[in-house]
Amino acid sequence: MAGENPLPTTVAVVHTDELMRVGIHTVVEHETDLQVLHTGERLDALTAEVATGAEAEPQVLVAQLAAPLDLGCAALRRWRRACPQAPVVVIGELTPLLVQRAVEAGAMGVLPLHVARTELVQCIRTVAGGGLHANSWLQARLRAGHQRLRSAGADAGVLLTAREAEVLRLMAHPAGHTYQVIGEQLGISEATVRTHRDNLFAKLEVNNRQALVAEATKRGLV
């Protein structure tokens, strides 16, 4: 009916810290155009509940990127596969590497732990509308982190793309990940992983995985 208020944007909040969950919940519920649909401690638990229909899918997820980083990013990718229409805002103690990994895993907004309530609300509204939120804090640290990565690569005599660095890190992991597992963790196909591997072989002038890891370790790339 004309003149009716639109339905509020539904939000899920996932964080292991109770005070953070309560605080985010309170901020969101204060806004008439936003509504908290779920709160919880574990993203995988919410993903499973939504995937099975036990819980309704929220329109936006505000979540902590759980530690260790590899597992947190994997959980975020599982959420994105199960709920591709629900954009993610990551909130927590940020570093340039965590920001990079969160964005690569599909986050549309990344906020520091001590974010202002007005920015948190604006970020939720931005990603709900299909936008990408990036504040000045994030932009400054991404620039600094990018410069450090370039400097490290120059010192090692090779420059890697962000994705090549991710593939290299997982190839060098003590668990000995298969290319299929690496692809699943990064949200790319096994064939794409092998393409990045071949590019790494060329850049580091090696022809097998063992030699690649040894050379990368020698140059300080892993």
187 and 114 in one domain? no
85 and 21 in one domain? yes
In the listed set 139, 163, 179, which residue is the last one of a domain according to the structure? 139
176 and 89 in one domain? no
- What integer pLDDT is reported at residue 1 of this predicted model? 47
Coil vs helix vs strand at 84: coil
CA-closest candidate to residue 165, choices 137, 211, 204, 110 = 204
The pair of structure tokens assigned to 124 is 């939720």
- What integer pLDDT is reported at residue 144 of this predicted model? 53
Sole residue written with tokens 């096994």: 190
Provide the number of structural domains found in the chain.
2
- What integer pLDDT is reported at residue 218 of this predicted model? 81
The pair of structure tokens assigned to 53 is 């229909």
- What integer pLDDT is reported at residue 21 of this predicted model? 94
- What integer pLDDT is reported at residue 146 of this predicted model? 46
Q: What is the CA radius of gyration of the chain?
A: 20
The per-residue pLDDT string of the chain (222 residues; one tens digit each, 9 = 90 and over) reads: 455 568 899 999 999 999 999 999 999 999 999 999 999 999 999 999 999 998 899 999 999 988 888 889 999 999 998 998 899 999 988 777 787 788 878 888 889 888 889 999 999 998 898 887 766 555 555 455 445 544 555 455 677 777 888 888 888 887 788 889 898 888 888 898 999 999 899 888 888 888 888 888 887 787
* Tally of helices (H runs) and strands (E runs) in the chain: 10, 5
Residue type at 78 in one-letter notation:
R
pTM (two decimals): 0.62
169 and 112 in one domain? no
For 106, residues 6+ apart whose C-beta sits below 8 A from its C-beta are: 76, 77, 80, 88, 187
As a whole number of angstroms, the distance between CA 58 and CA 51 comes to 12
Domain CATH code at residue 28: 3.40.50.2300
Domain CATH code at residue 182: 1.10.10.10
CA-closest candidate to residue 11, choices 31, 33, 28, 36 = 36
133 and 66 in one domain? yes
End-to-end CA distance of the chain: 60
Chain centre distance of CA 46: 17
Domain that holds residue 73: 9-139
